[in-house]
A and B are shown apart, each in its own frame.
Chain A
Amino acid sequence: MTSNTPRDDIVESADPITDTQDARIGEGPDPRFNSKLREAFGSSPFVLTKLDQFMNWARGNSMFMLQFGIACCSIEMMHTYSVKHDLDRFHAGVPRASPRQADVMIVPGTIVSKFAPRMKRVYDQMPEPKFVVNMGNCSTSGGPFQGGYNVVKGAEEIIPVDIHVPGCPPRPEALVYGIAKLQERIANGESSPVTVKPYELEEFGDLERDEIVEKLSEDIDEESLVMRYNWADAP
C-alpha cells in the first residue's frame, strides 16, 4: 500500500483509553501530590514570602557553573559533572563556556602570575550576583607549590571566594558537598562581600615609582593594565 492511497482502517478512537490512567491514579488524589505543603495550604496553595528571599532560593537552586579548567582539579571537576557523580542532580550542573552566562566560578587549580590577570578578567565578566568555589589546595593557598617563584598563594589574592574545598585534588564527592554548602548559603542570602582593592588590576602609571617600575617604564605603556605581585608580603 503506498502512502497516497487513503487508508480506511485508521479511524478515530471511539473509546479513549483511560484504563491505565485510572489504574495509575487509583482512588482519590495521587499520594505523590499530597505533600506537606499541600497539607498545610489546602488544594490550591500559595506562599507568601519576600521577593529577595524567593530570589535567593531560586538562585541557590539554579546555578550555572563556569566551564573553567586550570589544573589537576579540573579533571576531578569534569568527573563531578559526568556520570556517577552528576552534579546536575543538585541543581548545579550546567557548565557554561562563557562567563557572561555563568554565576558560579569553580577555581580548579594552581594560579600562577601569568594567569592571574586573565582569571580576574573572566571573573569580572561574570554578571552579578556571582559566587566562587575554591577547589583544591592550590587555589586555597598555593598548595604543594606554595614555595614556587611563580605561584599565586591562593585565589583570594585575586578574587573573593565563598567556599573553599580542601584536598589535592578534592574527590568529586567533596566538590559536590562544597557546592551544596554554597547553595545553602545562597538560599540563606549569604555571600562573601565583593572586595575591590587590592584585588583590582591597576594601570601601570598609577603604580608607586619604585625600582622595578622605573626599570619597566620604558617597555610598558602608562595606560596598560598590570598586576603587581608582592611575593615577599604574600601569605
Chain B
Amino acid sequence: MSSQEEEATQEGQSDSDVDYDYLESLVSEHVTGRESHVNAEAFRIDAYSVQDVLSTLKEEAGFDHLSVVTAQEYEDRFESIYHLKKFDDPTQELSIVVPTPREEPVHQSAAPVFTTADWHEREAYDLVGIEYEGHPDLRRILLPETWQGHPLRLDYNQDKPQIVTFEQHENPLEESLRDMENEGDRDTMFLNVGPHHPATHGVLHVKTVLDGEQIADLDPDIGYLHRCEEQMCQNGTYRHQIMPYPDRWDYAPSGLANEWSYARAIEDLEGIEVPEYAQVIRTMGAEMTRIASHMLAVATFGLDIIGDFSAVFMYAMRDREIVQDLLEDLTGQRMMFNYFRVGGVVWDLPEPRDVYFDNIRDFLEDLPERIDEYHSLLTQNELFQMRTVDTGYISPEAAKDYGTTGPVLRASGVDYDLRRDDPYGYYDKLDWDVRTREEGDNLARLLVRMDEVEESAKIIEQCVDLLEDWPEDDREIQANVPRSLKPEPGAEIYRSVEAPKGELGIYMRSDGTDKPARFKIRGPSFNNLHALERMSEGELIPDLIATLGSLDIILAEVDR
C-alpha cells in the first residue's frame, strides 16, 4: 500500500461518511454531473476519461475494489456503472457512471486499471452491447460467438432464430508460435478441459495450451450455463417473484446467503426494517448454508485430488446430509429454500422447537471431531500436501486486482469480510472472527474454508442460544410490507453480502413499476474464476485441476 493510500484510508476511517466533494475535486475536470444512488453518490464522467478517473480514485483515494461493472440501456442512452469500494472499509462506496449516446455506445475500457474489468466489460459487451475502447480482448463471454444481437437491450427480439457452431477449437498460441519458429522449436499441445469433464465442477471449458506438462496459455470459456438469470429477475415482481431465483445462483447450496443479497438490496431500497428475531433466524440459516457449501467444496476438492468418489467425498457428503436435514426442517426444501421474504422470513422455526435446537446442538457437538477427521484425511496427508502446497499461488495485490473475494481472497492474507466490515443481519452482535491465511496457495484456500466452518458453528451456537430464550410473544418474523413494492422511479442501489464464495452483490434500478428495470448480479465465482489465469501461469497441468478445485466455483454463479 502506498503512503498516499494509507493516508486516504486513515482519513476514511476517522470519518465513516465518505467526503464526496473531496473525491469530486480529485477528478473534477472529467466530471460532467453527479447522481445520488441509494448506496452511494455517483459521478457522471465523460466517455474517454474512464482510465484517468479510476486510476486517480484507486491511487489517491484508496478505492481499490472494483466490485462490478453494470451496463444498461435507457430510452435515450447507454450507461456503464463502475461500482467502487475499499477493501479496507467496504462501507465507503462510490459509483462512476459513464453515459454514452444510443447511436454509438463506445467508451474507454477500465481493464488497464482494474484487471477484473476485463471480464466484466466483456459481459457488458455481450449482453448489452457497449463497446470498450482499449479493452485487451473484447469478445463475447457468455453467449456463443455467433449470437445475433444483445439480449438485454430494449429492442432485442427473443424469438429470432439463432445458430450455434460446433467447431474444433483452435490453438490461440499457434500464430504467435509460428513467428517464434526461428528461436527454436517449441512444441505446444492444445488441450480442452471440459465442458464435460469430472474436474471442472460443472460445465466449464478451459482452453489450455501446454508446453510439455506446463501451461503456456489458459482461457476459461464460460457460458455453458448462462440461463438468463438477470432477465428472469427483471421479469419478476419485487415482492414474490424474484426470491426463488437467488437459490439457483449458487446452488452449493448457499441459497439463504444468496436470498439475503436480494433481500438486503430491496429492503434498503424500500427502507424496510426487518424484525430482530427474523434477523437472528436469517443469520443462523445463512451460516448453515455456509457450512453446507464449504463441505461440498472440501468434498469435491478431495475428489479432484485424491480421486473418484473417495473417502473424503463420502465423509463430507455425510456431514452435508446432516446440515441439509437441518435446513430442510427450517425451510421445507433441501436445496431451493425460498425461505426469505422481503422484510423477514416465511415461517418460524419448526415445532417442536426444543427438538430442533437439540438437533442443531448435536450437529455442532460432533463437528469438531469431524473436522479433525478431515484434517487427518486431507491436510495431514503428505501426498495431498505435495499437490496443494505452493501451487496456484496468488499474491494479495493480484487477488485484489482480479476482484476475488471470499475464501480465495482471505487465503491470500487480505482481511476482508462483509459480515464484519459492512455488517448486516445479526453478525455485528455476535462473537466470531474472520479467519485468514497468508500463503495464498491451494492448501491455504482449503484451510480457510475449514476454519470458516468452525466460525460458522460458533455463530450458529450463539444464534441458537438467542432463539431459545426469545420471549414467545415477541417472535416477529415479518415486517409490515405492502403487497406490491414500487420503489421510487430512478432509484438505484448496489448492495452485497458475504456469500460462502465471496461478495455477492445486487444492483437494481427501479423505473417506478413493480419490476426492476435492471437487475445485475455480481457472482463472486465469476471474479474468482477470472483469477485462474494468474494462478496457473507456468504451472503444471495437474496443478491446474487442483487450483480450479480450490477456487470452489459454481458455474451457475459464473454464468448466471
Q: Which of A's residues lie within 8 Å of B, judged by CB?
A: 67-72, 74-76, 78-79, 81-84, 95, 97, 99, 109-110, 112-119, 121-122, 138, 144-145, 147-151, 168-169, 171, 201, 204, 207, 210, 212-213, 215-216, 219-221, 224-232
Q: Is B395 an interface residue (CB 8 A)?
A: no
Contact flags (1/0) for B156-169 with A, using CB distance below 8 Å?
Answer: 10111111111100
Q: Give me the 5 closest cross-chain CB pairs, A-B, nearest first.
A: A148-B228, A72-B251, A82-B317, A232-B159, A117-B166
Main secondary structure of the interface of B (DSSP, over half): loop
Some 14 contacts from A to B, beta carbons below 8 A apart, are: A75-B252, A83-B314, A113-B162, A115-B195, A115-B203, A119-B196, A147-B235, A148-B231, A212-B148, A212-B161, A226-B163, A228-B161, A229-B161, A231-B159
- Chain A residue numbers with a CB within 8 Å of B320 are 79
Interface centre among B196, B309, B321, B556 (most CB of A within 10 A): B196
Using known A-B contacts A70-B225, A84-B321, A110-B227, determine if residue A75 contacts B253 with beta carbons closer than 8 Å. yes
Q: Is B370 an interface residue (CB 8 A)?
A: no
Do A109 and B146 touch (CB < 8 A)?
no
17 extra interchain contacts, Cβ-Cβ under 8 A, other than A113-B164, A149-B231, A227-B166?
A: A71-B202, A71-B227, A72-B251, A75-B251, A76-B334, A76-B335, A83-B318, A113-B144, A115-B203, A117-B164, A144-B244, A150-B227, A169-B335, A204-B163, A219-B146, A225-B165, A228-B162
- Chain A residue numbers with a CB within 8 Å of B146 are 216, 219-220
Do A148 and B232 touch (CB < 8 A)?
yes
Using known A-B contacts A72-B336, A76-B334, A144-B248, determine if residue A201 contacts B227 with beta carbons closer than 8 Å. no
Do B226 and A144 touch (CB < 8 A)?
no
Alpha-carbon distance between A122 and B252 when the two chains are bound, in angstroms: 25
Which listed residue (A97, A119, A171, A207) contacts B308, Cβ 8 A? A97
Alpha-carbon distance between A97 and B309 when the two chains are bound, in angstroms: 11
Which listed residue (A67, A70, A121, A229) contacts B162, Cβ 8 A? A229
Q: Which of B's residues lie within 8 Å of A, judged by CB?
A: 143-144, 146-148, 151, 156, 158-167, 195-198, 201-203, 223-229, 231-232, 235, 244-245, 248, 251-253, 296, 308-309, 313-314, 317-318, 320-321, 334-336, 555-556
CB closest chain-B residue, reference A88: B309
- Chain A residue numbers with a CB within 8 Å of B296 are 75
- Chain B residue numbers with a CB within 8 Å of A114 are 143-144, 164, 223-224, 226
Using known A-B contacts A82-B313, A82-B314, A114-B143, determine if residue A212 contacts B162 with beta carbons closer than 8 Å. yes
Using known A-B contacts A226-B165, A232-B161, determine if residue A83 contacts B321 with beta carbons closer than 8 Å. yes
CB closest chain-A residue, reference B251: A72
Alpha-carbon distance between A63 and B406 when the two chains are bound, in angstroms: 40
Alpha-carbon distance between A201 and B334 when the two chains are bound, in angstroms: 37
Which listed residue (B309, B321, B336) contacts A169, Cβ 8 A? B336
- Chain B residue numbers with a CB within 8 Å of A171 are 334
Which listed residue (A145, A224, A232) contacts B227, Cβ 8 A? A145
Alpha-carbon distance between A110 and B336 when the two chains are bound, in angstroms: 15
- Chain B residue numbers with a CB within 8 Å of A75 are 251-253, 296, 335
Which listed residue (B143, B166, B201) contacts A201, Cβ 8 A? B166
Do B203 and A228 touch (CB < 8 A)?
no
Do B162 and A207 touch (CB < 8 A)?
no
Do A148 and B163 touch (CB < 8 A)?
no
Which listed residue (A97, A109, A112, A220) contacts B226, Cβ 8 A? A112
Interface centre among A70, A114, A116, A118 (most CB of B within 10 A): A114
Do B226 and A72 touch (CB < 8 A)?
no
- Chain B residue numbers with a CB within 8 Å of A83 are 314, 317-318, 321
Do A151 and B228 touch (CB < 8 A)?
yes
Which listed residue (B144, B162, B253, B556) contacts A71, Cβ 8 A? B556
Alpha-carbon distance between A219 and B203 when the two chains are bound, in angstroms: 26
Do A71 and B251 touch (CB < 8 A)?
yes
Alpha-carbon distance between A81 and B163 when the two chains are bound, in angstroms: 36
CB closest chain-B residue, reference A220: B165
Nearest-neighbour CB distance to chain B for A43, whole angstroms, equals 40
Nearest-neighbour CB distance to chain A for B201, whole angstroms, equals 8
- Chain B residue numbers with a CB within 8 Å of A109 are 225
Alpha-carbon distance between A232 and B159 when the two chains are bound, in angstroms: 5
- Chain A residue numbers with a CB within 8 Å of B336 are 72, 168-169
Do B143 and A150 touch (CB < 8 A)?
yes
Do A150 and B164 touch (CB < 8 A)?
no
Do B251 and A112 touch (CB < 8 A)?
no
CB closest chain-A residue, reference B300: A78
- Chain A residue numbers with a CB within 8 Å of B314 are 82-83
Which listed residue (A76, A84, A149, A210) contacts B158, Cβ 8 A? A149
- Chain B residue numbers with a CB within 8 Å of A232 are 159-161
Alpha-carbon distance between A73 and B232 when the two chains are bound, in angstroms: 19
Do A224 and B167 touch (CB < 8 A)?
yes
- Chain B residue numbers with a CB within 8 Å of A219 are 146
- Chain B residue numbers with a CB within 8 Å of A76 are 334-335
Do A115 and B151 touch (CB < 8 A)?
no
Using known A-B contacts A70-B202, A83-B317, determine if residue A228 contacts B228 with beta carbons closer than 8 Å. no
Alpha-carbon distance between A151 and B158 when the two chains are bound, in angstroms: 11
- Chain B residue numbers with a CB within 8 Å of A74 are 202
Which listed residue (B165, B223, B251, B308) contacts A224, Cβ 8 A? B165
Alpha-carbon distance between A76 and B166 when the two chains are bound, in angstroms: 30
Nearest-neighbour CB distance to chain B for A235, whole angstroms, equals 13
Alpha-carbon distance between A78 and B296 when the two chains are bound, in angstroms: 10
- Chain B residue numbers with a CB within 8 Å of A97 are 197-198, 308
Do B160 and A212 touch (CB < 8 A)?
yes
Using known A-B contacts A79-B321, A115-B203, determine if residue A149 contacts B335 with beta carbons closer than 8 Å. no
Do B196 and A68 touch (CB < 8 A)?
yes
Using known A-B contacts A68-B196, A72-B556, A79-B321, determine if residue A110 contacts B225 with beta carbons closer than 8 Å. yes
Using known A-B contacts A113-B162, A114-B223, A117-B164, determine if residue A84 contacts B318 with beta carbons closer than 8 Å. yes
Alpha-carbon distance between A79 and B253 when the two chains are bound, in angstroms: 12
Which listed residue (A78, A138, A227) contacts B164, Cβ 8 A? A227
- Chain B residue numbers with a CB within 8 Å of A148 are 227-228, 231-232
Which listed residue (B166, B308, B335) contacts A121, Cβ 8 A? B166
- Chain A residue numbers with a CB within 8 Å of B308 are 95, 97
Which listed residue (A144, A225, A230) contacts B245, Cβ 8 A? A144
Do B161 and A231 touch (CB < 8 A)?
yes
Do A231 and B253 touch (CB < 8 A)?
no
Nearest-neighbour CB distance to chain B for A153, whole angstroms, equals 12
Do B321 and A230 touch (CB < 8 A)?
no
- Chain A residue numbers with a CB within 8 Å of B335 are 72, 75-76, 169
Alpha-carbon distance between A150 and B231 when the two chains are bound, in angstroms: 10
CB closest chain-B residue, reference A113: B164
CB closest chain-B residue, reference A68: B196
Alpha-carbon distance between A118 and B159 when the two chains are bound, in angstroms: 23
Which listed residue (B148, B167, B229) contacts A215, Cβ 8 A? B148
Using known A-B contacts A70-B202, A84-B321, A150-B226, determine if residue A224 contacts B195 with beta carbons closer than 8 Å. no
